[in-house]
Amino acid sequence: MPTIAINPWAVAACVLVRFLIGGLWYSPLLFLRAWQAETGVDDAAMKPRMPGALGSDLLGAILMSIVLALGVDFTRTDGAAGGAVVGVAAWVGFVAVTSIGRVTYEGGRWRLFLINGAYNLVTLVIMGAILGQWG
C-alpha cells in the first residue's frame, strides 16, 4: 500500500488562505452585496448566524485542504502549477458539477453560482498550488 504524505503546515496554510480569500470575497469591497441580493440574507439576518457559519467554514476548509492534499499526493503532483491543475480538476469534477445541478434542477440563480463558484475555483487553485509546491 502506498504511503500518503501530507504536510500539516501546507494544509494549515491552505485553511488560512481560504479564510483570507473568503473574507475579502464576501466583503463589501467585492461580492457581499451581490451575494446578499441573490440570497436575500441581509446584515441583520447574517449577524447571529456568523459564529456557526464560521465554525462550519473552518471545518470545511480543513476537510477540503486534507482531501485536496490527498489528491495532490495521489497524483504525485510536484510544483505549484501541477497542484493548481489538481485544484481546477477538483473544482470541475466536484464543485461545478454539484453546483450546476442546484441551478438547473432547483431553479437556483446563475449569478449566485458565479459568485460562489468563482470563490471555490480561486481558492482551490491557490490551495492546490500551495500543496503542489509545499505539500
The residue among 77, 81, 58 whose CA lies nearest residue 68 is 77
Q: Taking 70 as the threshold, does the pLDDT of residue 97 lie above it?
A: yes
Q: Give me the count of residues in the chain.
A: 135
Contact present, 11 and 128 (Cβ < 8 Å): no
Kindly report the average pLDDT of the chain as a whole number.
95
> Tens digit of pLDDT for each residue in 68-96?
999 999 999 989 999 999 999 999 999 99
Confidence category of residue 1, pLDDT binned at 50, 70, 90: low
**Is the four-CA dihedral 76, 78, 82, 87 of positive or negative sign?**
positive
Q: Which amino acid is located at 108 in the chain?
A: G
- Domain assignment present for residue 111? The answer is yes
> Tens digit of pLDDT for each residue in 3-27?
778 999 999 999 999 999 999 999 9
- Domain assignment present for residue 124? The answer is yes
Average pLDDT over residues 24-35: 97
Range of the domain at 96: 26-134
The residue among 131, 7, 17 whose CA lies nearest residue 75 is 131
- Domain assignment present for residue 13? The answer is no
3-state secondary structure of 123: helix
